[in-house]
Amino acid sequence: MPGQSHKEPHRRATSTPRSLKQATSELRWALSLAAPESPAFMRHLLGNAHDKVDITTSSEHVAAFTEHAIVLLNGNAHQTRELLGGKGYNINAMRRHQLAVPPAFCITTEVGVRYLAAPTPTMEAIWNDVLDQMRWLEAETSRTFGWGPRPLLVSIRSGAVQSMPGMMDTILNLGINDPVEQALAAASPSPIPQTFARDTRLRFIRTYRRIVDPLNPPPANTYDQLRAAIESIFSSWNSPRAVAYRTHYGLDDQSGTAVIVQAMVFGNQGAYSGAGTLFSRNPITRESKLFGEWLPGGQGDDVVSGLVEVQPITSLRDEQPTVYDELVDTAGRLERLGSDVQEIEFTTEDSKLWLLQTRVAERSAQVAVRLALQLWQEGLIDDAEALRRVTPVHVETVLLPVLQPENHLSATLLAKGTPTCPGVISGKAYTEVDEALDAAESAEQVILVRDHTRPDDVLGMLASQGVVTEVGGAASHAAVVSRELSRVAVVGCGQGTAVSLAGKQITVDGDKGEVRQGNLTLSAWSENETPELRELADIARRISPLRVHMTEDHTRLDDSSDTAVRLAINTGHADVVSATPLIVMMTTLRLQDSKDSSAKS
């Protein structure tokens, strides 16, 4: 179903874990050696002993693929998420349910893994299949790749099994050169067709130079562009930010990424075109309302970058009510199909709605708890699934100390913006990633303050406890990644914020969207004092083999570790006492799930 890719319960988000420090040091050293695409860089990242793919060029790497190397995402694909990646799997599901998705095909994760081991032989082995599927795209769109009169342009996107927002690369508008630019202008219904075609080409050139080849312009041959872009996306699996992200969360380094090749639709074409991101429920405030951002005349990269001023999704309702109503209906449908809150990337082209992708929406710990209860109350998920949607890290984060009103009002307000990940955190403001990393390695509490965050800033975001930016909205890179990492975040605080905050001790309030001077005193809460955690604990007691209480006359459990929980169960205890009842019961249920899975296999 669309978007079913929940984070594993064991993925713990700590402030500066030892593994992150090791990875940070390693990656910074690697970056000083060479550019990401160079062989030296790849050898360093892939040649380590700890479970990286072995770089060889033996014939075993170009043996026959176990399944189709390339899969049409036409709604009929039967392959698993592990082979198609999350993006490809969800595109296929949307097509199966007859939603308006631009035609696409998937080069599978199996190819991605083999590419990292033997790039040239792997590309040679699949290239004829790529050409066949490009002809399929041409037939589906009634366009031609590389020439007119109606040229086909494509996007090249990564598609890992586990979503890694902002960590890997995307290339839009590929397939344009001098004659294609002219044909695109001639075929466009835009009132300013030459401007549209030139804008599209310049966007592609900028992206190609940034991601594929910083030294040379894109080749004139559009198939050379395509091949280079596919290879670049496969290689981005081992970009420093992607490796750091997987290290932080303990994700599999060997699963690789798929590559999605999808026909372009153009939000930059005219007055009734645009791009946006829609959440089927608010991932920031816990409200069960649609939430999102919309940019008339833009493309998806503009929305995510945070560099362009976007509009609330309600402005789409005012400008194109029919499109808005269709989008609302689609969001509800995708949420029901996925049984979870969806983040939907969409484009409108001349008042036609197109869905580019959907995935489970990233959310803060506070919102994860609220949404699990909402979906449970609405009957979309059962007791066990409600508890799977909340991790011990979520509970610990919800219980972090909060700012009391009297302390809040007495401190000087330094900046105000859009709250995008709730919580309150104090620390020293750093505006450079390297400085933030050094401070974090010295056990300093770090707040990363940037004009806007870039994908490569993820190392600094991992090392920090809070994030502040000058520009950006709720769907920007800074906002989405902060929610994923459970970092308190305020974005869009205005030009000059970074300079004014640099070096200061500050407190970031991710609930109110404020930055105040000093390290302010915070007050802690317990599970019993938090109504939503109390409600989840009541659900857990109904299904957990081990019922856990905060007080009562039962054996006390000293910690919530797997060992302690197993010991309590094995010695016949049905009720115990703990300072963290919900976390202990969640551990119990996870161990039970693991035992049941082992028994089935």
Residues 295 and 375 in one domain: no
- Of 263, 290, 311, the residue at which a domain comes to its end is 263
How far is the C-alpha of 324 from the C-alpha of 322, rounded, in Å? 5
Residues 431-476 have pLDDT tens digits of: 999 999 999 999 999 999 999 998 889 899 999 999 999 998 888 8
| Residue 143 DSSP one-character state | -
Same domain? For 315 and 257 the reply is: no
> What residue type is assigned to position 381 of the chain?
I
Rounded CA separation 426/445 (Å): 7
Across all residues in the chain, what is the average pLDDT?
87
Largest CA distance in the chain: 81
Quick check: 3 and 81 in contact, CB under 8 A? no
As given in the structure block, the two tokens for residue 76 are 């009929």
pTM: 0.81
Strands 446-450 and 424-430, sheet pairing: parallel
Residues 375 and 348 in one domain: no
Under 8 Å CB-to-CB from 215, ≥6 apart: which residues? none
51 or 335, which is more confident? 335
CATH number of the domain within which 295 lies:
3.30.470.20
* Structure-derived torsion over alpha carbons of residues 46, 51, 56, 58, reported in degrees to the nearest 10: -160
Peptide bond before 149: cis, by omega within 30 degrees of 0?
Answer: yes
The model's confidence at residue 65, banded by pLDDT at 50, 70 and 90, is low
User: What total of structural domains would you count in the chain?
Assistant: 4
- Hey, is 599 helix, strand or coil? helix
> Is residue 424 included in any domain, yes or no?
yes
Q: What is the mean pLDDT of residues 22-26?
A: 45
Residue 5 counted as domain residue: no
Q: Which residue intervals of 294-420 are DSSP H helices?
A: 300-305, 314-319, 321-338, 365-377, 383-388, 392-398, 405-410
Write down which residue in 360, 385, 414 finishes a domain.
Answer: 360
CA-CA distances (angstroms) from residue 561 to 322, 547, 557?
53, 15, 10
Question: Which of 224, 135, 232, 229 lies closest to 177, judged by CA?
Answer: 224
Distance CA 595, CA 589 (A): 10
Q: Would you state the structure tokens that stand for residue 579, as one six-digit string? A: 């300072």
Give the number of other Cβ atoms within 10 Å of residue 567's Cβ.
12
Statement to judge: residues 129 and 210 lie in one domain: yes
Are the C-beta atoms of 565 and 591 separated by less than 8 Å? yes
CA atoms of 575 and 553, how far apart (whole Å):
9
Percent of the chain with pLDDT over 70: 89
Nearest CA to 197 out of 145, 151, 146 is that of 151
Q: What 3 state SS string does 378-401 have?
A: CCCCCHHHHHHCCCHHHHHHHCCC
Q: How far is CA 79 from CA 69, 110, 471, in A?
A: 11, 12, 40
Give the pLDDT score at 6.
Answer: 46
Confidence of residue 51 (pLDDT cuts 50, 70, 90): very low
Q: Which of 4-18, 275-289, 490-504 has the lowest mean pLDDT?
A: 4-18
Residue 98, pLDDT score: 96
Distance between the two ends of the chain, CA-based, in angstroms? 23
Q: What CATH number has the domain bearing residue 155? A: 3.30.1490.20
216 and 350 together in one domain? no
Average pLDDT over residues 263-286: 91
- Of 263, 288, 310, the one marking the end of a domain is 263
Least confident of 120-124, 236-240, 281-285, 382-386: 281-285
Pairing of strands 352-360, 424-430: unpaired
Q: Which residue has the higher pLDDT, 83 or 44?
A: 83
Q: How many whole angstroms separate alpha carbon 465 and alpha carbon 200? A: 38
What is the rounded distance in angstroms from the CA atom of residue 242 to the CA atom of residue 515? Answer: 30
Residue 333 has, within 13 A of its CA and on its CB side, a CA count of 12
Cα-Cα-Cα-Cα torsion 65, 41, 438, 506, nearest 10 degrees, comes to: -60
Least confident of 39-43, 169-173, 222-226, 533-537: 39-43
pLDDT, average across residues 343-370: 93
Torsion of CA 377, 382, 385, 386, to 10 degrees: 20
For residues 490 and 356, state if they share a domain.
Answer: no
- Residue 9: what pLDDT? 34
Q: How far apart are CA 52 and CA 44, in angstroms?
A: 10
Q: Are 44 and 188 in the same domain? A: yes
C-alpha to C-alpha distances, 563 to 526, 555, 567, nearest whole angstrom: 24, 16, 6
CA–CA dist 24, 35 (Å, integer): 16
Residue 509 lies in a domain: yes
Report yes or no on 9 lying in a domain: no
Within this chain, do residues 456 and 514 fall inside the same structural domain, yes or no? yes
Do the domain assignments include residue 269?
no
Q: Report if residue 507 sits inside a domain.
A: yes
319 lies in the same domain as 445:
no
Q: For the domain that residue 427 is a member of, what is the CATH number?
A: 3.50.30.10
How many C-beta atoms lie closer than 10 Å to residue 583's C-beta?
A: 26
Angle between helix 193-211 and 222-235 (nearest 10): 40
Same domain, 236 and 138: yes
Question: Cβ(173)–Cβ(201) under 8 Å?
Answer: yes
Same domain, 519 and 531: no
| Residue 8 is assigned to a structural domain of this protein | no
CA dist., res. 68 & res. 59, Å (int): 19
CB-based contact 545:593 (threshold 8 Å): no
d(CA 448, CA 456): 13
Element (H, E) at 181: helix 178-187
pLDDT at 325: 97
Confidence grade of residue 240 (pLDDT, cut at 50, 70, 90): confident
- Three-state DSSP class for residue 525: coil
> Taking residues 161-189, what's their average pLDDT?
92
Q: Do 183 and 78 share a structural domain?
A: yes
What SS3 state is found at 601? coil
Q: Which domain holds residue 33?
A: 18-263
Per-residue pLDDT at 163 exceeds 50? yes
* Whether 457 contacts 468, CB under 8 Å: no
Cα 264–145–141 angle (5° rounding)? 55
Residue 276 to residue 303: CA distance in whole angstroms: 6
Q: Is residue 6 part of a domain?
A: no
Of 161, 184, 8, the closest CA to residue 88 belongs to 161
Q: How far apart are CA 276 and CA 327, in angstroms?
A: 11
